Chain A
Amino acid sequence: MMDYLVYLAWSIILLLTALIMAPLLDGVRRVIRAKVQRRIGPPVLQTFYDLRKLFGLPSLIPYRNYLLVLVPYLVFFVVVLLSILVPIPFVISPSSTVDIISFIYILLFASAILIYAALIIPNPYSNAGSIRELLLITLFELFVAFTIVGLAYRIGTLNMYLLGIRYGWTEYYLKPSTLLLSLSLLIIAYVEGAYTPFDIGEAETEVLGGPYLEYGGKYYGLLLYALLIKRYVLLALPVSLVFVSPIINYVADIFNGFTLMVLSYGLFIIFMFLTMMLFSVIEAFNPRYRVDIVYKPILVSALIPIIGFILGWFGW
């Protein structure tokens, strides 16, 4: 009975963490970008204020199609669901019930819903943005697939909970293959999170927000919130595996039980902020790619998980 309560409690904590952290991380991102750009920038809570404003605005749906009303709720529901499956090492949560393939593909499903909804809208900017987004996901498929295969082969499991714990074991962690796979996980979080220069789908100065263009008020608020939670979830995976897991494994013998879980959760929060700061700096120094030049860096970077997988194959 106690186990179930802990399980439930952590699920709620993870859910609340995602709901609060997602806008907060975006606030941090905006502050860091402002610092790099040598301006004062908005307060760190600005994204909360933006969302509050959006939820208070009248919502316009220019095309009378119930699917378009349903999409923001559906996308939001999917990403919130994923947020409780985040594998924080040793934290007992629903992450044990899911494997990394399902996790990533449910995440892509959220993007797919939005893309297909935007494709049925007779707006050329929405369509162009959606097609770009679709192209980016398809191009990135190879990268994601090899990272997953590499992880499965190297760590020996695809279960999210076990992956969270085992990833930091010294026998795996300090190998060149794992380092390459760690880098791959960070790249996935960056590219799928649509940070500049990979924001070609939204590209406000080109296609005016792409798939998001026809939404306003609370519907846009929901979609924006969903995008932020999606970024949080994408970031949570490498943060847990690459940064938290080795440290928590190192101290796992000293602490145990509840203390270990709280420590792991604390480290997770700290590294989430630090990684977002790193992402923000990278983002600040890059202009946007064009759709016909983005394929080259993506396909070339697929060599990272491929080499990681090959090295793992030979036990390095």
Chain B
Amino acid sequence: MVNFWIRKVEDLSKEELLEIIDRELKGLVTDKYVPTNNFVVYFAEREKIPAIIEKLMEFSYTRLSVIAGNDERYYMNKLSLTYIIAFDKQDLYIGIRTYLPFYDPVAPSITDMVKAAWWNERENRDLFGIEFSGLKDKRKLVLPEYWPDNVHPWRKDYPYNKPVMDWREGLPDYTPVRETKDVDVIGFGPYHMVNDEPIHWRLYVKGEVIVDAEHRGFHNWRGIEKIAEGRLTYNQIPFIAERICGICGFTHATAYVQAIESLARIDIPDRARYIRSLMLEIERIESHLLWIGIACHILGFDTGFMLSWKTREHIMHLAEVLTGNRKTYGMDIVGGVRRDVLGDRINKAIDTVKKIRAEYKELYNMLINNTILVKRTRGVGVLPREKAISYGVVGPVARGAGLDIDVRKDHPYAAYKELSFNVPVYSEGDVLAITLVRLDEVFESLDLIEQILDKLPKGPIMAEVKEIPANKEAVGVVEAPRGEDIHYVRSGEYNKIQRWRVRAPSYANIPPVREMLIGYRLADAPIIYASVDPCLACTERYLVIDIETGKKTIISDEELKAKSRKLSKTMG
């Protein structure tokens, strides 16, 4: 077992910490490489990985952010794994890289030590065919159960445009992880009233009390990164990155362009930095108000739902005024932003913020003074601090569990270093604490927008971008409304990327939901699950509209109904 955060290093500078890490990892790592200011990569033999991770996780404010697999056949003729660990108080990401030969792609599992590795290892097993010795959960995570075991779509020998298997060719072979003799099984999703996107939870209940839960997701996974690696140029990717999510798409585009700017050492103009922060805060308010509405709806409080979404309309309108779109702003591009914020629009934005603040205060008071609402969320779905660290949760879920982490403060980007704001932190770890974090953050975001509009510097909005160097790597991080959104990018040749790994915040926040559900009631399940604000579009990164291949089929409403009725009859 790892003793998480026992070594207090949060007061040390980046240089001091790196010195300690160099000393500690001596004998365990073989080499070191510094791709960017905030990203340091150590190379190690695979056998040493657990010992290295154990040492690093003992430092305070560390998280296993993502394990990025890569097929480096054209460079090393090997597969690689990069364990990216965040050091939140030193603005530092440390990558531990190990190479695995194609004939023996096996690495030791660290899931038993650090829960954050659980999904990452299963994903790399599915997509790169890397086996993890000691990994107990051998179920597929991303690919369907019937997918052949020797086909790994993220390896470079699997073309990006190879069609996926037709689902009718095989039937899912789903085996529940738990005996069902002594419990009732309740299927929660993939289509459930409170699931905006498909996810399946098998809830094992005794009476109404949940004794265990099991997750199956990735129903819509299409491998968006593969499309980007295969056919898109650097400046086309921000637009597909923004379409990863319909709620926090701008954070994805920003994280991606920041990674490219970082590896190409591009300094973007001040005005562009401020505009990015402005849009990110607009997106945060929009996302939080959306979540507040959904949470109220789940708890049967439709008045809160409607008032929240009514207030949200103002911010959507403001986004439309500033960018031309309510969502999917299309503002980010490598080197800056595509549209400026003009004078009269600044005044409109100031007026809108005032209007939202007045309406939101009323809503805020209504919510926090509602006894039933507080009773339904207090002490429900508790995620203890220790588990929160092990699972590497981020955003409001982490801050609700007492972890004072926020990428805007810890790894400042865009204009956040020059702006003043508070990071709300609550220690209870229950749904109420997470809710309060989000409620408070809306006020902070409104303040931030006012500050940005007040300080907005004059000047250009685009930097001059020359050639992006090949075979460089970087991480781009953004505090999305749900937490840290990290994009690991490695540049390739011919104006294309070699590897792009998107780790959205929900990818870190959904795995602990199982533990958050156990011991609570069926009635609590929807709000516990919703408390992490799961975004499956981000987690699964599904978006493919393939018009070029001509495979697009349009089914009319009548045909769809007829199919549905036919299916119902066969079931009856």
Q: A124-B186, A291-B521, A291-B523 are in contact. Are A205 and B297 (CB under 8 A)?
A: yes
The 0/1 profile, CB within 8 Å of A marked 1, for residues 167-197 of chain B is 0000000000000000011110000111000
Check if A284 sits within 8 Å of B302, measured CB to CB: yes
Stretch at the interface among A66-74, A112-120, A192-200: A192-200
Within 8 A of A (CB), among B246-288: none
Bound Cα distance from A38 to B305, whole angstroms: 11
Check if A60 sits within 8 Å of B572, measured CB to CB: yes
What residue of chain B has the Cβ atom nearest to residue A63's Cβ? B572
Within 8 A of A (CB), among B272-326: 296-307, 310
Minimum C-beta distance from B495 to chain A (A): 48
Q: B565 at the A/B interface (Cβ < 8 Å)?
A: yes
Bound Cα distance from A49 to B45, whole angstroms: 69
Residues of chain A contacted by B242 (CB below 8 angstroms): none
Q: A257 at the A/B interface (Cβ < 8 Å)?
A: no
Contact of A287 among B205, B299, B525 (CB under 8 A): B299
Q: A124-B184, A124-B185, A128-B208 are in contact. Are A288 and B299 (CB under 8 A)?
A: yes
Q: A289 at the A/B interface (Cβ < 8 Å)?
A: yes
Bound Cα distance from A29 to B304, whole angstroms: 17
Bound Cα distance from A156 to B303, whole angstroms: 43
What residue of chain B has the Cβ atom nearest to residue A216's Cβ? B568
Residues of chain A contacted by B375 (CB below 8 angstroms): 290, 293
Contact of B522 among A37, A39, A128 (CB under 8 A): A128
Check if B565 sits within 8 Å of A205, measured CB to CB: no
Check if B310 sits within 8 Å of A38, measured CB to CB: yes
Bound Cα distance from A33 to B297, whole angstroms: 14
Check if B372 sits within 8 Å of A197, measured CB to CB: yes
What residue of chain A has the Cβ atom nearest to residue B568's Cβ? A60
Bound Cα distance from A203 to B305, whole angstroms: 16
Q: A60-B568, A124-B184, A205-B297 are in contact. Are A290 and B303 (CB under 8 A)?
A: no
Minimum C-beta distance from B309 to chain A (A): 9
What residue of chain A has the Cβ atom nearest to residue B302's Cβ? A37
Check if B523 sits within 8 Å of A287, measured CB to CB: no
What residue of chain B has the Cβ atom nearest to residue A37's Cβ? B306
Bound Cα distance from A207 to B571, whole angstroms: 22
Minimum C-beta distance from B569 to chain A (A): 9
Within 8 A of A (CB), among B515-572: 521-526, 565, 568, 571-572
Check if A205 sits within 8 Å of B568, measured CB to CB: no
Q: A225 at the A/B interface (Cβ < 8 Å)?
A: no
Minimum C-beta distance from B555 to chain A (A): 20
The 0/1 profile, CB within 8 Å of B marked 1, for residues 2-45 of chain A is 00000000000000000000000000000001001111000000
The 0/1 profile, CB within 8 Å of A marked 1, for residues 360-404 of chain B is 000000000010110110000000000000000000000000000
Check if A287 sits within 8 Å of B373, measured CB to CB: yes
Q: How many interface residues does B have (CB within 8 Å)? A: 37
Within 8 A of B (CB), among A180-218: 196-197, 199-200, 203-208
Bound Cα distance from A207 to B208, whole angstroms: 11
Q: A37-B302, A197-B300, A287-B301 are in contact. Are A125 and B186 (CB under 8 A)?
A: yes
Check if A208 sits within 8 Å of B376, measured CB to CB: no
Check if B300 sits within 8 Å of A203, measured CB to CB: yes
Minimum C-beta distance from B378 to chain A (A): 11
Bound Cα distance from A197 to B301, whole angstroms: 9
Minimum C-beta distance from A139 to chain B (A): 15
Check if B307 sits within 8 Å of A38, measured CB to CB: yes
Q: A285 at the A/B interface (Cβ < 8 Å)?
A: yes
Residues of chain B contacted by A197 (CB below 8 angstroms): 300, 372
Minimum C-beta distance from B235 to chain A (A): 42
Minimum C-beta distance from A269 to chain B (A): 28
Within 8 A of B (CB), among A99-122: none
Q: A247 at the A/B interface (Cβ < 8 Å)?
A: no
Residues of chain B contacted by A61 (CB below 8 angstroms): 572
Residues of chain A contacted by B373 (CB below 8 angstroms): 287
Bound Cα distance from A71 to B391, whole angstroms: 49
Residues of chain A contacted by B184 (CB below 8 angstroms): 124
Check if B522 sits within 8 Å of A287, measured CB to CB: no
Residues of chain B contacted by A205 (CB below 8 angstroms): 193-194, 297-300, 526
Check if B300 sits within 8 Å of A199, measured CB to CB: yes
Residues of chain A contacted by B376 (CB below 8 angstroms): 287-290, 293
Q: A197-B372, A287-B370 are in contact. Are A62 and B522 (CB under 8 A)?
A: no
Q: A124-B185, A287-B370 are in contact. Are A37 and B307 (CB under 8 A)?
A: yes
Minimum C-beta distance from A56 to chain B (A): 14
Residues of chain B contacted by A196 (CB below 8 angstroms): 300-301
Residues of chain B contacted by A170 (CB below 8 angstroms): none
Check if A58 sits within 8 Å of B571, measured CB to CB: no
Bound Cα distance from A267 to B301, whole angstroms: 32
What residue of chain B has the Cβ atom nearest to residue A196's Cβ? B300
Minimum C-beta distance from B382 to chain A (A): 16
Residues of chain A contacted by B296 (CB below 8 angstroms): 287
Within 8 A of A (CB), among B436-455: none
Q: A256 at the A/B interface (Cβ < 8 Å)?
A: no
Bound Cα distance from A62 to B568, whole angstroms: 8
Residues of chain B contacted by A301 (CB below 8 angstroms): none
Q: A253 at the A/B interface (Cβ < 8 Å)?
A: no
Minimum C-beta distance from B134 to chain A (A): 35
Bound Cα distance from A37 to B375, whole angstroms: 22
Check if A206 sits within 8 Å of B572, measured CB to CB: no
Q: Which of A58, A203, A206, A289 has the most CB of B within 10 A?
A: A206
Bound Cα distance from A197 to B572, whole angstroms: 35
Residues of chain B contacted by A285 (CB below 8 angstroms): 303, 370
Check if A39 sits within 8 Å of B521, measured CB to CB: no
Check if B523 sits within 8 Å of A203, measured CB to CB: yes
Check if B303 sits within 8 Å of A36, measured CB to CB: yes
What residue of chain A has the Cβ atom nearest to residue B367's Cβ? A287
Within 8 A of B (CB), among A204-238: 204-208
Bound Cα distance from A135 to B268, whole angstroms: 63
Bound Cα distance from A285 to B371, whole angstroms: 11
Bound Cα distance from A100 to B235, whole angstroms: 76
Q: A286 at the A/B interface (Cβ < 8 Å)?
A: yes
Residues of chain A contacted by B526 (CB below 8 angstroms): 205-206
Bound Cα distance from A207 to B296, whole angstroms: 16
Check if A62 sits within 8 Å of B310, measured CB to CB: no
Q: A292 at the A/B interface (Cβ < 8 Å)?
A: yes
Residues of chain B contacted by A38 (CB below 8 angstroms): 306-307, 310
The 0/1 profile, CB within 8 Å of A marked 1, for residues 484-510 of chain B is 000000000000000000000000000
Bound Cα distance from A113 to B177, whole angstroms: 37
What residue of chain A has the Cβ atom nearest to residue B300's Cβ? A288
Residues of chain B contacted by A207 (CB below 8 angstroms): 522-523
Contact of A200 among B307, B523, B572 (CB under 8 A): B523
Contact of A288 among B301, B310, B568 (CB under 8 A): B301
Minimum C-beta distance from B86 to chain A (A): 35
16 contacts between A and B (CB under 8 A): A37-B306, A39-B306, A128-B208, A128-B522, A203-B523, A205-B299, A206-B526, A208-B193, A286-B300, A286-B372, A287-B296, A287-B299, A287-B300, A290-B375, A291-B208, A291-B521
Starting from the known contacts A128-B522, A131-B208, A204-B193, 13 additional A-B residue pairs (CB-CB under 8 Å) come to: A33-B303, A38-B307, A38-B310, A124-B205, A196-B301, A205-B297, A205-B298, A208-B192, A284-B302, A287-B300, A287-B301, A288-B372, A288-B376
